[in-house]
Amino acid sequence: MKKIFNFSPGPATLPYEVLKQAQDELINWNNLNFSVMEISHRSNDFINLLQNIKQDLRELINIPSQYDILFCQGGARTQFAAIPMNLLFYNETADYANIGHWSLQAIKEAKKYCVPNIINPVKKKNGIFYIKKMEDWILNKNSKYIHYCPNETIEGIAINQEPTLENKIIIADLSSSILAKEIDIKNYGLIYASTQKNLGTSGLTLIIIRKDLIFNNRKKRQEIPSVLDYQIISKYNSMFNTPPTFSLYLSGLILKWLKKIGGIKYISQINKQKSTLLYSAIDNSNFYINKIEPCNRSITNITFYLKDKKKEKIFLQKAQENGLFYLKGHKVVGGIRASIYNAMPIEGVKILIDFMNDFEKNYV
């Protein structure tokens, strides 16, 4: 059988070893003769699992002790509401950078809780999109934080440098870039990521937050639902209500896998290689085109178009016949998108490039 590669943007491909281990442990986890799904989240086995996840995260991305690690349900979109609810009192405001689809969804939700100061840093020059430098963004001096999405999953546009704004609490949606490259947590007040792209399966959001943003003397809105209240989530060790235990278990396996293969330092090099190979293949052809300034190109979501749009349908069909799945771009931008998170081996990218070259020869 032909080898299959899954370029889905999320839920996304998972490492084979992780799936295999989950399969093996499905009916007997931790020598309990049960699956992880069938035990209480209050049991020692499960509490240990959660503790291990936090410890592995601290090691992998160097999370300092003044930061808390929380898990919440409802995906990243729930945080679009939970963040302003937790961090803004009535009449307070925040800066929101509109970089792409997910930034915009966060803005729409934030508008229910504040009047955000919206920054539009994406510009277009000669048909190429780029993002204005963060230092040149015009912020509201009264804003309590700035929210942005450094990797826009749908457009494949990204801010690849660490944030540089001083004296502002920086909040970043890292749903499609968490664990893909090294970051310095100390640059952020809060980062969050839904787990179904690079950290397991759906059902869960990771939140890494500076503790002084949870526990302080600020006045707090009365209407925050308890399950979204960072103080309550923290006090209850992310188990105020029953967490999605299988999702947590799977994220735990992903973290162990990542540590085993060499951590973020190693995987970020592989990710750099994968994306460089693919962008070079696009740039070196007269058949495919990417419309983003090289420094603002995503390393995890590579978007491109066929110069002859009419050939996209047959491209996708032939790709699938060749074992290359879910390459269709999101409907808001069209074109092609290859999501190449940590679990996509370099081999998959090379096979995609071979396919693209063959397709170009046959259909030019």
Q: Which positions are annotated as active-site residues?
A: 102, 173, 197
149 sits near ligand PLP (criterion: CB under 6 A): yes
Which position among 8, 93, 153, 300 is part of the footprint of ligand PLP (CB under 6 A)? 153
Is residue 137 within 8 Å of 168, Cβ to Cβ?
no
x/- letters, 26..65, toward ligand PLP (CB under 6 A): ----------------------------------------
Site for ligand PLP in 194-223 (CB under 6 A): 194, 197
* Residue in 363, 22, 51, 2 with CA at minimum distance from that of residue 201: 22
The DSSP call for residue 22 is H
Window of 21-29, 108-116, 172-180, 222-230 that interacts with ligand PLP by CB under 6 A: 172-180
Closest CA to 198 of 276, 266, 277, 257: 257
Task: Work out how close the CB of 192 gets to ligand PLP at its nearest, in angstroms, rounded to a whole number.
Answer: 9
Q: Choose one: 24-32, 51-59, 72-80, 84-92; the region binding ligand PLP (CB under 6 A).
A: 72-80
CA–CA separation, 306 and 73 (whole Å): 38
Minimum CB distance to ligand PLP smaller for 54 or for 197: 197
* Residue span 10-29 as binding mask against ligand PLP, x where in contact by CB under 6 A, dash where not: x-------------------
- What span, in angstroms and rounded, lies between the C-alpha atoms of 64 and 209? 10
Between residues 156 and 355, which has the closer beta carbon with respect to ligand PLP?
Answer: 156
Q: Measured between alpha carbons, how far is 336 from 330 in angstroms, rounded to an integer?
A: 8
With b meaning 16 or more CB within 10 Å and e meaning fewer, what string describes 160-173?
Answer: eeebeeeebbbbbb
254 or 281: CB nearest ligand PLP = 254
DSSP per-residue string spanning 228-255: G-HHHHHHTTT-SS---HHHHHHHHHHH
Q: Is the distance from CB of 176 to CB of 199 less than 8 angstroms?
A: no
With CB under 6 A as the contact rule, the residue among 175, 247, 298, 342 that binds ligand PLP is: 175
Which of 46, 173, 180, 348: binder of ligand PLP (CB under 6 A)? 173
List residues near ligand PLP by CB under 6 A: 10, 75-77, 102, 149, 153, 173, 175-176, 194, 197
